[in-house]
Chains A and B, each alone.
Chain A
Amino acid sequence: KNEVEQSPQNLTAQEGEFITINCSYSVGISALHWLQQHPGGGIVSLFMLSSGKKKHGRLIATINIQEKHSSLHITASHPRDSAVYICAVSPNFGNEKLTFGTGTRLTIIP
């Protein structure tokens, strides 16, 4: 069993739909990261969370430390949101020694 599990693996939705991607982890962490990877490999850091919730534009990330679970939400989804979304956890408050999930491939249809 992977230490970081994401669901669903693939998600296709219509433009405008509310999107939720889930991440569960089985190890102790100090920080959880959400990243976005576009075709060709480019990765962008979206959020780092250690508790609660963060919002940036149409993206919202939440974490429940007790349940070892995080969610990434996208409101008013748009075709440009199509990408692979990856959850990663770190034992330290920062970005070292990240353990990654396998990603959720999101496709938004116009």
Chain B
Amino acid sequence: ETGVTQSPTHLIKTRGQQVTLRCSSQSGHNTVSWYQQALGQGPQFIFQYYREEENGRGNFPPRFSGLQFPNYSSELNVNALELDDSALYLCASSLMTGSETQYFGPGTRLLVL
């Protein structure tokens, strides 16, 4: 068991709405990364947080934003949802940014109608 949890597991929203996804890191991990995985595709890197600061961002618009809290749990916020935002959103935690291994959560499946 990885110890990384995500909530909710499934979510349905309509275009234009806002959504917040949550991730609880494995105990002791100070780094969390978020990924978007469209159906049939590999994951795409959204951003990474290290000790509450953004530590790298992929090619996603500003309406994708994040937060990491002092307990290292994390949120992904998406504003003005678009149909193409429908995907599996994965978070992964690691002991530090240079770690070999990331521990992935089960993901949140978001459907935008």
Contacts and interface: CB of A to CB of B under 8 A. Distances in A.
Contact of B98 (A43, A94, A97, A102): A94
Interface residues of B, number: 31
A11 to B, nearest CB: 16
B24 interface: no
27 contacts: A40-B106, A41-B88, A41-B109, A42-B104, A42-B106, A43-B90, A43-B104, A44-B2, A44-B104, A45-B100, A45-B101, A45-B102, A45-B103, A93-B98, A94-B97, A94-B100, A95-B31, A96-B33, A96-B45, A96-B55, A96-B97, A97-B45, A98-B35, A98-B45, A100-B35, A101-B42, A102-B42
Interface of B: 2, 31, 33, 35, 37, 40-45, 48, 55-56, 58, 88, 90, 92, 94, 96-104, 106-107, 109
Given A45-B102, A86-B43, 14 more contacts: A41-B88, A41-B109, A42-B106, A43-B92, A44-B2, A48-B100, A95-B98, A95-B100, A95-B101, A96-B33, A96-B55, A96-B56, A97-B58, A98-B33
